[in-house]
Structure 1
Amino acid sequence: MTTADRPSDADRPSDGGRSADDSRPSDYASARDRLLAEPGESGAARRKALARLADGWLAGLFSTAGAPSGTALVAVGGYGRGELSPRSDLDVLLLHQGAVGSSLPERIWYPVWDSGVALDHSVRTLGEARKVAAEDLKAQLGLLDARHLAGDPALTAALRSAVLADWRAAAPKRLPELHELCAERAERHGELAFLLEPDLKEAKGGLRDVVVLDAIAATWLADAPRDGLADAAARLADVRDALHLTTGRATERLGLHDQDQVAARLGVLDADILLRQVYEAARTIAYAGDVTWRSVERILAARGSRGRRAVRLAFPFTGAGRGTGAVARGAVERRPLAEGVVEQDGEAVLAQAARPAQDPVLPLRAAAAAAQAGLTVSYATVRRLAAEARPLPVPWPDEAREQLITLLGAGESCLPVWEAYEAEGLITRLLPDWERVRCRPQRNAVHRWTVDRHLVETAVRAAAMTRRVARPDLLLVAALLHDLGKGWPGDHSEAGEVIVRDVAVRMGFDKADTETLALLVRHHLTLVDTATRRDPDDPATVALIAGVVGTLPRLELLHALTEADATATGPAAWTGWRASLVAGLVARVADRLEGAPGYPADADPTAEQERLAVEAARGDGPALSLLAQAAPGDFTAEPMGVELTLAIPDQPGLLGTVAGVLALHRLTVRAAGLRELDPIGAGPVLLLSWTVAAEYGELPEAARLRADLRRALDGSLDVARKLAERDAAAPRRRGVPTPPPVVSVAPGASSSATILEIRAHDAPGLLHRIGRALDAAGVRVRTAHVSTLGADAVDAFYVTDPAGLALTPDRAREVAAQVQAALG
């Protein structure tokens, strides 16, 4: 029997639920009203006092009803936890051993109904209660909080013991069920931390999730990270109490029209601050839930595949195998992701030799490696990084900037990593200005997210547009920073321009890039405002935008940022009509801006480069120079890698062969230049000046690298086969979906060569595949400019036909299509 099952007054038992002079219902209601009116009573203390008041009343009703031995009145659910909000239901179970008939429960329920208090009730034996719990997951969760009110305490104790034992025994089956219910609830109600009118109980990160976390802890399989969790739950409960008192109803939805009154009742300055506090609490709860469910999944998977011993090793928050020697014995599988970072149990964790206190870039390197692999960073690792990592020097080392760009370039996979870092304060440590926008509400129905989440969502959408621009790094950083001015007074675009100049300098961007970022932030609304409010066909409108951006690459960046910003805002902000207007305006401005993208001119060769070229021209093999690596801790030196210079007599397939040897040695090419020299008139020598870094581990010895180059060039080392064998033997990682590569011909960019522009996701062996594709197409590479910007490669190859002439337009398109097909 539930609240809706109350019988009519005609069915009231003849002996009544109370005598004529029994005033308990009105006494309880009066006492409750007095308690709620007490100015000094609020928060958890008031909720406990309300529960004690209800306890005494129900115990008295139970006694007055003449309950026989072998019966007990039990509080369950929220009431069982000993806290009541002003309009909460009384959720009770009449537990019995023998037959009780209908008159006993009704003598208890009728006075409650008469008082106007909502009642959720049931009458069951111990066996019936266990049976219902086994069939109904929600009922089982309610019984986990069973608390004795009156009657036989041994009966209540037996119920608690039996229900807990059943719950623990059935945990491998029930927990996946519970996880599915939570996912369905989150889908239905949304994520509390981003809703303008959140459901404080049912939305993800709400009070229902706190109950779920306690239920998981009761299984003894896993527990939630507890730091801040109790305070977050108490904050949401306080807001719900104030909402109940403001509306006079048992509502859980914090509507816009109630927020100012709720804020005033709680002594909060305004509704924006109230929402920010609610969002902060919800994020704490949601993050604890995400961490806990990942632990549950790992533990259940381990139990299914390796037995109970494996479960113990995987117990959450202790570090799998830590202190047991399991890692050293090889019992725990670990695969390298980046320097100091490995994959373990589906998460990114620190390598055993990693030292966060000596490597300030490690937090960003771990985040980028995890996101690019489609993983998150383990809870224990994030905690350790927050506790031990040193602040980054200012300006940032180049590697730190590149790792941030790589993290943002992972798209959707960036989100869980970002959330984990934000939960432990690592984001505001990296970007102090982030604190002003963190959890900041946007009280506008057009916006789906808080300011900070909107910024990250904009970067996620920008990651899908990196093939459209020549500088994907600037696009991603501008996307992340474009609304930072919303934490300051005045026009947020103007304030943001000032902020981003400072942030860009701290990140280590040069003057030109800083100016571009400032322009993008200042004008991130200009294109859509101009396209929708002015005539895009008017030459004056076109001239205005052309004057703002100045160059075609900046126009491309602003167009992509505009679209990413709007699509991250919400469906109403980017319609087909707006998109077409903006695209039309951009096309007209692009026609006005003359000139193709420029590439840096080749500098005169250094004395060392000339020496190597002469050595190669006179000898019978490659001349190689590998500059020393920057000293550990010297972040003012070249932290992105080492300079590798090669001089080799020209021959077919040279670029792909050399790049393949570097890939075999697990060297990542960060930047590269290729040019022809003829130092002694004996024939062309190709000079390759590359910046390379070890994917992880140490750099190879120069002698070993030179020996493999010689073998590859004379054909005794089949580079392509070796790479294929290594890839086939390597475990497949999920990785992240990336935009497909784009290979295009730069029109009219050079009179003596054809320029192929290649924009692709950086990956081991990419340059090797490009070189092989160009060689297969039958073209010569005269000059190359290779750049790796975060996780994106932006390359330009000056190619000619075998006679040294620029390709015809048709031939150029054919070669571009061949390379595109080879890159997949």
Structure 2
Amino acid sequence: MTQTNLPPLPPLPPYTPAAYKAYLNELNADIDRQICKQGIHATQTIDSHIARRTQAVDSILVSIFEALFGTDSELGLFAIGGYGRGELFPASDVDILILGDDTDSHQTQIETFVADLWDIGIEPAISVRTVSDTMTAVTEHTVATALLEARFLVGNDTLTDVPTLAVKGAWTAKAFFGAKMSESKARYLAHNATEYNLEPNIKTAPGTLRDLHIILWLGKFYFDGVRDFHDLVEVGFLSPDKYATLESAKRFLWCLRHHLHTHVARHDDRLLFDRQRAIAVSMGLAHADDDNRQITHALERLMRTYYRHAMTTASLSELLCAYFNENYLNPEFITTPIDEHFYAITEQASPIDSSLHQDGLAKDVLIKQGKLPSHDPKIAVHDPHAFDKNPALLLRIFLVMGQQGIKKISANTLRAIYLATPRIDDDYRQHPTHQALFLANLQEPNYLFHRLRLMKRFGVLGSYLPAFGQIMGLMQYDLFHRYTVDAHTLLLIRILHRLTDVDNEIYQQKFDLVSQIYKQIHRKDILVIVALFHDIAKGRGGNHSELGAIDVYEFCTSHGMAESDSQFASWLVREHLTMSLTAQKQDISDPDVIARFAHFVGSVSRLNHLYALTVADMNATNSELWNSWRASLLKQLYISTRRVLNLGMGVVDKDVYITGRKSKAQALLTDIDPTTLHALWDELGDEYFLKHKKLDIAWQSRVILEQKSAIQDARPIITIRSHTDLALDAIQLFICTPDRDDLFAISVCVLDRFGLSVLDATIVSATIDGVPSALDSYVLIDRFAARDEHGTLMSDFLTPSDRRDELVSELSQALTGNAPKCQIASASFGFNLTLKHFNVPTQVHIERATPFAHQGHHALSLITKDRPALLAKIGQVFSKLGVAVHGARITTLGERAEDIFYLSDKDGGLLDDDTIESLKVALIEILQ
């Protein structure tokens, strides 16, 4: 381990567990004080601090061991694993091995030794083995890896080399490499194979400490005397520039891990949101009393540094592991020529030494019928200096990969690309040949995601598009944006291309309509270019959609694309959020909304491109927030808009719209007398038919006519069904009840207490048989519903059950005024604890509503932090101020709630200025 200005350790006090514990605690406190004082600059000295702690623990263990076993013990004490490597953090396990031929006769001393360590506050992970036991144990690769790090501390020095020799005697380099690669693959998959998790594990996630360890393990196994990265430079495995990059990443991750262990006071390597905030303060990037904007800026800076180190570490780990295999393990390759510059190599499957078939090893090395798994072909360059001689090959190699169906690059060729990337400058970017090659890469669909990811990881993409380089590692500190901007961008492109994967049944079911539409789009390359640029202006300040539209137009024109294509790409980037905002925040059952959106889009071709882009973008932002409700909203908006574009604006004329809906609903009610049906519909009024679709009209009309006597008896009609025509994950609740004040507030309070989240609410006033009535329709999600093996919702509310009966009973009592005032549920009910780490300032905006169905109403737009019983709290404010609710559209985006409410006064008129002002003040007061 490299040590920098290592301060001398204070001498150990006379031994007692209490004295040693105090000694170690004071040392840790002193180390923490110095690291916190240095802030972000502690990355320059962190190795010295870690070495001090390791040295202190060494001296404590040696002192106790010698006191218990004597100075000439036949046993040997070793530091192994992370402790052997010299990486001791405040809460690290202390991995130790006691080795000797006769360990049984020392059992009493060993037990006392372990007990003393616990009394001191050292948590030992101890192994006690004979030499014979060790020879067997090392056939398990995790034991072998731990013993590869063995560092002799005290005792019988004739055993010094036994652990390392045991490992190298039991394993071949090839088998050890295979085990580590198999382990690494499983580890990557456990973290979604991305360096960009919002709350990463800084030890095991891709691009973190484990990727650094793998490089060292391979080096220690193959070369003699290797302790750290500097030694790998000395043996010629690491170049000085790669050494500097890995050391920088290691020091940053070590600082993070120190602060993380200190903050949580236990061994936990997950960088959770609340811990990110504390660490940003500890590293001097922010102050504890900073405002939310300053804290957020500091967090984004911290995590951007983390993501950039993670990306480079993952890239170099991948490169160096492949380089180790190709240059030191001498695998056999099948070589296939491609052209004068490139050829393909495929590593042959090779048999495993049968003597290594120990328990567990076969699984670790993935032995299949005695052979290693087969390998994908890799592209290689004939001349390692070819990229310097002909820089156009830096782009051409990726195009050839697509044309040849190759998604990997040989390690030596990757190394050559890595070294040649600095040749991509302004002159390079403006060269017509290079521009044509880059554009051709985007137009070649085969393995596009894999090729772009390699271009990004090894510097080509960020060098050719400097604006893309600026978004690499850029994250937004919220729960909605799950990935950094660069990772999100490439994932969007991947999702677009998967829409054509007819063999992927999951994708075909998830994206049924959009998949069909995407296949019909002829110029898919325009969508790829738009995907690459849609968020490229984030982090610059200003409107990223507007700035990105300028960037993509300049790119298209400079790369020789037609003016019409360039303008279209610019429009798509500028408007890439418009369709999702329209679907989620406007009443898309309103013909006026559809007419305006159709006019905005202008053509079916533009609509097709925008729809495919929107769906892919929403899924690439956060697939966990993509559900059938959002899918159905976009699908409904697409179908309605396409109908207008094909048939003309006449189909959304108000009277035509209402007549059409009545006709379609009546066709579903052939068993009901038309005179009776139309008599009811005449009472419901135009507003009802503007707000409801044919399936809902038919369902609700039947229910009202079947239970009409309840209205005369002043009893509510309450019915529940699965939301079959829209979101399969949702529940529909219909309430028809004699009108009264505060219906919305009363209803949402009861629903919240039953764990039902409101996605949509439609409220209509009408007179039924002379009784003023309210017809309330809710789209709900059961927060606690289970699913069967087919993924079908198994909510208690969709089948006869006690829970369903309780809901209907409580709603009925609350709506008739026969129940106590509804109490808001406990704040912990169904609460996502992660939300508490985010701050979303409450924003309230009120203006005259524009849709047909809400003429004469106000539209209230609310942005606030999501929380338990949010709607119930909002409903209380409406109730207190005498505000009537006519509809609601509820949108949750991570920690943000962005809701729309259509409001009036109690008489159905517009709100006066005093009420509007009071409403804003009251909402901010209760929610801020």
Is the TM value for this pair above 0.5?
A: yes
Equivalences for residues 175-324 of structure 1 within 5 A? 175-191=177-193, 193-220=195-222, 226-227=242-243, 228-269=245-286, 270-295=298-323, 303=331, 306=332
Deviations 1:31-75, CA, capped at 9 Å, x for gaps:
333333334675111001100111111111111113343222110
Rounded to whole Å, the distance in 1 between the matches of 2:328 and 2:449 is 25
Between 549-558 and 196-205, the greater mean CA deviation after superposition: 549-558
Residue aligning to 2:79: 75
Aligned partners of 2:417 and 2:458 also within 8 Å: no
Shift of 1:191: 4.3
Residue aligning to 1:333: 335
1:558–1:354 Cα change, 3 Å: farther
Match of 2:165 among 161, 165, 178: 161
Residue aligning to 2:56: 53
Residue aligning to 2:146: 142
Rounded to whole Å, the distance in 1 between the matches of 2:594 and 2:427 is 43
Rounded to whole Å, the distance in 2 between the matches of 1:19 and 1:47 is 23
Equivalences for residues 568-583 of structure 1 within 5 A? 568-583=620-635
Residue aligning to 1:425: 459
Rounded to whole Å, the distance in 2 between the matches of 1:358 and 1:204 is 34
2:451 aligned with 1:455, yes or no?
no
1:254–1:20 Cα change, 3 Å: closer
Please state whether the residue corresponding to 2:335 is helix, strand or coil.
coil
Amino acid across the alignment from 2:203: K
Is there any run of 5+ residues in structure 2 with no aligned partner, and where? 1-13, 224-231, 287-297, 347-376, 500-517, 649-928
Amino acid across the alignment from 1:35: I
Equivalences for residues 339-418 of structure 1 within 5 A? 340-345=341-346, 346-352=377-383, 355-357=386-388, 359-372=390-403, 373-388=405-420, 389-391=423-425, 393=427, 400=434, 403-408=437-442, 413-418=447-452
Please state whether the residue corresponding to 1:445 is helix, strand or coil.
coil
1:434–1:395 Cα change, 3 Å: closer
Aligned partners of 1:193 and 1:279 also within 8 Å: yes
2:19 aligned with 1:32, yes or no?
no
Rounded to whole Å, the distance in 2 between the matches of 1:237 and 1:218 is 21
Is there any run of 5+ residues in structure 1 with no aligned partner, and where? 1-17, 311-331, 597-824
Deviations 1:683-733, CA, capped at 9 Å, x for gaps:
xxxxxxxxxxxxxxxxxxxxxxxxxxxxxxxxxxxxxxxxxxxxxxxxxxx
Rounded to whole Å, the distance in 2 between the matches of 1:379 and 1:414 is 20
Shift of 1:516: 1.0
Shift of 1:360: 4.5
Aligned partners of 1:408 and 1:414 also within 8 Å: yes
Amino acid across the alignment from 2:456: E
Amino acid across the alignment from 2:275: D
Choose between structure 1 and 2 for higher RCO, CA contacts under 8 A separated by at least 6 residues: 1
Amino acid across the alignment from 1:202: T
Aligned partners of 2:319 and 2:415 also within 8 Å: no
Aligned partners of 1:144 and 1:163 also within 8 Å: yes
Residue aligning to 2:756: none
Please state whether the residue corresponding to 2:77 is helix, strand or coil.
strand
Shift of 1:411: 6.0
Shift of 1:434: 1.0
Aligned partners of 1:200 and 1:236 also within 8 Å: yes
Amino acid across the alignment from 1:233: K
Residue aligning to 1:806: none
Rounded to whole Å, the distance in 2 between the matches of 1:251 and 1:117 is 16
1:411–1:450 Cα change, 3 Å: farther
2:67 aligned with 1:64, yes or no?
yes
Please state whether the residue corresponding to 2:538 is helix, strand or coil.
helix
Aligned partners of 2:385 and 2:416 also within 8 Å: no
Rounded to whole Å, the distance in 2 between the matches of 1:558 and 1:358 is 42
Aligned partners of 2:326 and 2:411 also within 8 Å: no
Match of 2:133 among 93, 106, 128: 128
Rounded to whole Å, the distance in 2 between the matches of 1:371 and 1:442 is 32
1:355–1:29 Cα change, 3 Å: closer
Residue aligning to 1:112: 117
Deviations 1:272-295, CA, capped at 9 Å, x for gaps:
111111112222222233334445
Deviations 1:18-37, CA, capped at 9 Å, x for gaps:
97798334333333333333
Aligned partners of 1:497 and 1:518 also within 8 Å: yes
Q: RMSD of aligned C-alpha atoms?
A: 3.2
Please state whether the residue corresponding to 1:348 is helix, strand or coil.
strand
Rounded to whole Å, the distance in 1 between the matches of 2:486 and 2:322 is 25
2:569 aligned with 1:530, yes or no?
no
Aligned partners of 1:493 and 1:521 also within 8 Å: yes
Please state whether the residue corresponding to 2:268 is helix, strand or coil.
coil
Deviations 1:219-270, CA, capped at 9 Å, x for gaps:
4399678441232122212111111122222210011011121012122351
1:32–1:257 Cα change, 3 Å: closer
Shift of 1:353: 10
Rounded to whole Å, the distance in 2 between the matches of 1:126 and 1:353 is 47
Aligned partners of 1:377 and 1:417 also within 8 Å: no
Shift of 1:88: 1.2
Rounded to whole Å, the distance in 2 between the matches of 1:550 and 1:361 is 41
Rounded to whole Å, the distance in 2 between the matches of 1:172 and 1:209 is 18
Deviations 1:621-663, CA, capped at 9 Å, x for gaps:
xxxxxxxxxxxxxxxxxxxxxxxxxxxxxxxxxxxxxxxxxxx
TM-score, normalised with respect to structure 1: 0.61
Shift of 1:351: 4.2
Identical-residue share of aligned pairs (%) = 25
Rounded to whole Å, the distance in 1 between the matches of 2:384 and 2:76 is 59
Amino acid across the alignment from 1:384: A
1:74–1:454 Cα change, 3 Å: same
Aligned partners of 1:80 and 1:91 also within 8 Å: yes
Amino acid across the alignment from 2:153: L
Shift of 1:398: 6.3
Please state whether the residue corresponding to 1:101 is helix, strand or coil.
helix
Shift of 1:210: 1.9
Amino acid across the alignment from 1:109: V
Shift of 1:198: 0.7
2:637 aligned with 1:585, yes or no?
yes
Rounded to whole Å, the distance in 1 between the matches of 2:565 and 2:498 is 21
1:95–1:582 Cα change, 3 Å: same
Deviations 1:508-551, CA, capped at 9 Å, x for gaps:
33432221111101111111211222233544333433333333
Aligned partners of 1:340 and 1:351 also within 8 Å: yes
Aligned partners of 2:212 and 2:313 also within 8 Å: yes
Rounded to whole Å, the distance in 2 between the matches of 1:44 and 1:355 is 39
Shift of 1:403: 4.2
Shift of 1:392: 6.6
Residue aligning to 1:15: none
Rounded to whole Å, the distance in 1 between the matches of 2:590 and 2:626 is 23
Rounded to whole Å, the distance in 2 between the matches of 1:411 and 1:578 is 28
Residue aligning to 1:814: none
Match of 2:532 among 457, 462, 480: 480
Amino acid across the alignment from 2:31: L
Aligned partners of 1:192 and 1:279 also within 8 Å: no
